[in-house]
Amino acid sequence: MANSSEVPDLVPCGSDEEDDDEAAWDEMEETSQPVQCLFCSKTFPSILETVSHAAEGHKFDLKILSKKYNMDTYSYIKLVNFIRMHNMGADELMVCKEPLWDLDMYLKPVLENDPWLMYDFEEDRVLSEPRNFTPTGYHVVNSEDGKVTLTEAHFRELQNNLEGLHMALAQKNDEIQILQGDIARMRSLSRALLEAGISDKSSVEADLDTVVKGIKLEDDEAYFSSYAHFGIHHEMLSDKVRTETYRNALLSNEKQIKGITVLDLGCGTGILSMFCAQAGAEKVVAVDQSDIIYHAMDIVRENKLEDQIQLIKGRLEDLDNIPKVDAIISEWMGYLLLFEGMLDSVIHARDHHLKPGGLLLPNRCDMSLVGLSDLERHNELIGFWEDVYSFKMSGLRKETVHVPAVEIARPESVVTTSFKLRELDLNKCTSRELSYCVPFELKALHTSGEVLLTSLAGYFDVFFDLDNPVSFSTGPLATPTHWKQTVFFLDEPFLLQPGEIIKGTFECLRQKKDCRSLKIYIQLEGKEKFQYIVS
């Protein structure tokens, strides 16, 4: 590193050395496409102009965020993709109490070849101190008397801060000399991350494949065995909201179903396959690993549909004799939408067996959260352990709170607006998106008095976006389904004022040791983060 007392030689305008430096910086600053702002639809010709716009127009201060969370390159990339995915405003980001984007899922680019991912934010942050120091754009010549003559107005400003310039030059001399190497490194890293986002062979995707496809069948038998008994199928078939919605989606859209080949994934008793045949499907390939498929074979024969419906026993990921199909139908949803992890199999089927432009039934789902007030139920389940025949059992109270209840919430217990946590487009979503962390807001619905918030309830909605759209909801204000709602009881209920807004974060993670289960973290603003296990 250069001694701070030595002033480096300044080169005249148009020199080769200066041109090389300038070209290196231009490589970073210029893009071959307009750069879109993270917070609005405006575009700019270069990333640095876009960064400047974000700072001035939206008060987005990367320097503050970087210092606040000790961000590195990976943290920055996660931040960009988090903003792209959730459309969070800069004002919200700047007041976050924790880095909501600090999940590996946000390493996947939301926009392909996003110029923001090529931006070396660490270098820009350092070089911004002192503010006026920039390695290009300032040209000088040596006059005959040996004095430095400034030939650009911008560089004249640095004369007033020459001491700061010398310090910056001393601190950054080594970095400037290897600037081109740094740029190449940054571009290489960004390119690798972009490729990881679209490659099935990426390390992140490989980990997910280990979770889903890599499970040994013998280790997964308990899951499939749970569907072998007729009892669970009686419960599902008795759910008219569920079953009739699927039937209506097919029969009211016969023009789209007639003559096509359909894959029924997780066919169970074969009811959806028979609906497809009834709607005019030419061929239905029905797959299930559970022993219930033997009953499905009998049912299909009993209804004389064996010419249209082919039943195959096996786990889809292990089968190599599944043809390309025109449509995939599956009732894969679990409690809290993602419990059981069957969506992974739907994604696998989509990527390997669905023809281009084929149908997914359903094709869209969303997950929501709402606040409840039901002190009676809270006392029954949580408060019970405070006085068990005059004895306290606090340890069991804590255990009970950590396990959400799957039950039907009374409609009158709903005391807040709902908040959509997640929306999944099944035509595009990946397994990475099944783990997420999002901020949420719930607004109290009452206009007078106080209401005690005792729990939060998670539910989902399902959509068939066909020529004649069909949908259903599992929310507490809709007709009850066998999915009910997933109720997260608060350890300590608290009062809500009229119109009060509750803020928090909801994090959904798949458990590493049990990929079909979920780990949920809920933190309300000003409250302790609480963990729940859905298993």
**Number of domain units in the chain:** 3
Please indicate, yes or no, if residue 206 is contained in any of the structural domains. Answer: no
Q: Does one domain contain both 43 and 190?
A: yes
Residue 259: strand, helix, or coil: coil
Task: Report the pLDDT value the prediction gives residue 226, as an integer from 0 to 100.
Answer: 57
CATH number at residue 290: 3.40.50.150
Q: Does one domain contain both 528 and 489?
A: yes
| Residue that finishes a domain, picked among 361, 376, 394 | 361
| Residue that finishes a domain, picked among 323, 345, 361 | 361
* Residues marked as catalytic: 331, 340
User: pLDDT digit of tens for each residue in the chain (535 aa)?
Assistant: 444 444 444 444 444 444 454 444 444 444 456 888 888 888 888 888 888 898 888 988 888 888 888 888 888 888 888 888 877 788 878 877 778 888 777 787 888 778 888 777 766 533 333 333 333 333 444 444 544 444 444 444 555 555 555 555 555 554 545 454 545 545 545 544 544 443 333 333 334 433 445 555 555 565 556 565 667 789 989 999 999 999 999 999 999 999 999 999 999 999 999 999 999 999 999 999 888 899 999 999 999 999 999 999 988 888 888 999 999 999 999 888 888 778 889 999 999 999 999 999 999 999 999 999 999 999 999 999 999 999 999 889 888 989 999 999 999 999 999 999 999 999 999 887 788 899 999 999 999 999 999 999 999 999 999 999 999 999 999 999 999 999 999 999 999 999 999 999 999 887 666 667 788 899 999 888 888 887 7
Long-range pairs, 77-81, Cβ under 8 A, ≥24: 77/106, 77/107, 77/117, 77/190, 77/193, 78/102, 78/103, 78/104, 78/106, 78/107, 79/106, 80/38, 80/114, 80/116, 80/117, 81/106, 81/107, 81/108, 81/109, 81/110
User: Could you list the residue range(s) of the whole structural domain that residue 87 is in?
Assistant: 16-198
Rounded CA separation 232/255 (Å): 32
Rounded CA separation 265/249 (Å): 17
Q: Does one domain contain both 193 and 307?
A: no
Task: Report the pLDDT value the prediction gives residue 218, as an integer from 0 to 100.
Answer: 54
Q: Does one domain contain both 395 and 522?
A: yes
Q: Does one domain contain both 318 and 337?
A: yes
CATH number at residue 524: 2.70.160.11
Please indicate, yes or no, if residue 211 is contained in any of the structural domains. Answer: no
Please indicate, yes or no, if residue 205 is contained in any of the structural domains. Answer: no
| H-helix or E-strand spanning residue 107 | none
Please indicate, yes or no, if residue 288 is contained in any of the structural domains. Answer: yes
Q: Does one domain contain both 151 and 56?
A: yes
Q: Does one domain contain both 330 and 378?
A: no
Rounded CA separation 494/450 (Å): 10
Q: Does one domain contain both 332 and 373?
A: no
Please indicate, yes or no, if residue 8 is contained in any of the structural domains. Answer: no
Please indicate, yes or no, if residue 214 is contained in any of the structural domains. Answer: no
Please indicate, yes or no, if residue 67 is contained in any of the structural domains. Answer: yes
Task: Report the pLDDT value the prediction gives residue 171, as an integer from 0 to 100.
Answer: 54
Rounded CA separation 402/399 (Å): 5
Q: Does one domain contain both 400 and 519?
A: yes
Rounded CA separation 524/529 (Å): 7
Q: Does one domain contain both 369 and 461?
A: yes
Long-range pairs, 428-432, Cβ under 8 A, ≥24: 429/343, 429/347, 430/108, 430/347, 431/205, 431/208, 431/211, 431/212, 431/343, 431/344, 431/347, 432/105, 432/108, 432/204, 432/205, 432/208
Q: Does one domain contain both 254 and 357?
A: yes
| Residue that finishes a domain, picked among 145, 165, 198 | 198
Sign of CA dihedral 351, 357, 360, 366: positive
421: nearest Cα among 409, 408, 435: 435
Task: Report the pLDDT value the prediction gives residue 120, as an integer from 0 to 100.
Answer: 74
Q: Does one domain contain both 500 and 435?
A: yes
Please indicate, yes or no, if residue 5 is contained in any of the structural domains. Answer: no
